[in-house]
Amino acid sequence: MFDCIIVGAGPAGGSAAYHLAKQGRSVLILEKDALPRYKPCGGGVSPSIAQWFDFDFSPAISCRTNTFRYTWNLEDPVDVQLEDQEPIWMVRRDIFDHFIVQQAQKQGAELRDNTAVTGIEFKIDRWQVTTANGIVEGKYLIAADGAKGNMAKWLGFKDRKRRLAGALEVEATNDSVVNTIHLEFGLVKNGYIWNFPKADGYSIGIGTFRGGEAQDFKKILDVYGKGAFGIDINNFKQYGHPLCVWDGDQKLHTQNALLAGEAACVVDPLTAEGIRPSIFSGIKAAGAIHAALSGTTNALENYTAEMTNEWGSEMKWAQRLAGAFYQFPKVSYKAGIKKPSASVMMAKILSGELSYSEITTKAIKKLSGSMFGK
């Protein structure tokens, strides 16, 4: 009998396990794949997450950068260097996710990887979790099994407010890596293309985050890879994956169980940032479970309220800005992205120094003025 069973060993699950185990709770992490496991992801992380932990993330960071290059249809480049901001971390998710889990294990959490969950059932005062390797029981559950996981459905969250966005990604190896984040806005509609550097290569991807007409991601990414970097993406393995983008506040708790990470639809609807919000939700979930185990009556309800007030309130503004930005991308590029101040503002938002609510109204007004020549 565990105090908490966490399904999923991504940033949300690992972070929840670390903070619960550190509080002396008995924690079991169940992960369907063997760790470390590959996870398609750009891998950009704000260094601000360090404030939530008391260990050094350096072993899990592939490289750091504060240099950006933006393009529109491979042209009209803008180069920006963030002088006064701590460089953004570039991570490989197999290493990064496993590293957090290892820190949780050092605190006493137990990991059972290569162990798929096949069913769950609530038994009076505990959850019975059936896995491919047997049955385990826990007083509480955290569902952190990502965009494609079954836990939310099994827990009864059937009609959730979420938008599944699409992404295609390749991991390209290259010895001559330029330590710059590249973002392309003109080749794809309702999204962008990214090239995030790693120590020995690139993570090149494309995604749409607002919906709309179907697009040939592979063809567009091929044009981008060849045109911008002389890379043939067909020489590398390609990974398609969904993203659970925030699309409105929702209930994230049920009987002795919580949703966290992409299972809770925390991905930013403007930037598609997912790692930092997943970690944030995992930490908040751990706090709620710890409080519930300590006797706080409304602890799980408070988790939903906290996520609504502290994350959902900001995502409402992010969604408004995304609506304007992706509806008029060329104007947005010229009036917004080409301004060095835009990169500074986004870096501050990603670090938590600035909020969407502080900039969105002004940004939309500026875009509207540019459209009508004001």
What is the reported pLDDT for 372? Answer: 46
Distance, C-alpha 298 to centroid of its chain: 27
Q: Which residues does 361 contact at the CB level (< 8 Å), separation at least 6?
A: none
CA distance 341 to 333: 13
Query: What domains are defined for the chain?
Result: 2-63+88-162+245-318 (3.50.50.60), 164-243 (3.30.9.10), 320-371 (no CATH)
pLDDT of residue 327: 86
The token duo for 327 is 């509806």
* CB distance 269 to 319 below 8 Å: yes
Q: Is the peptide bond before 36 cis (omega within 30 degrees of 0)?
A: yes
Q: What is the DSSP string of 222-261?
A: HHHHHHHH---GGGS-EEEEEEEEE-S----EETTEEE-G
In whole angstroms, what separates CA 24 from the centre of its chain?
27
User: What single string gives the DSSP state of each residue in 339-356?
Assistant: SHHHHHHHHHHHHTSS-H
Which parts of the chain have pLDDT scores under 50? 372, 374
- Please report how many Cα atoms fall inside a 13 Å half-sphere around the Cα of residue 94, on the Cβ side: 10
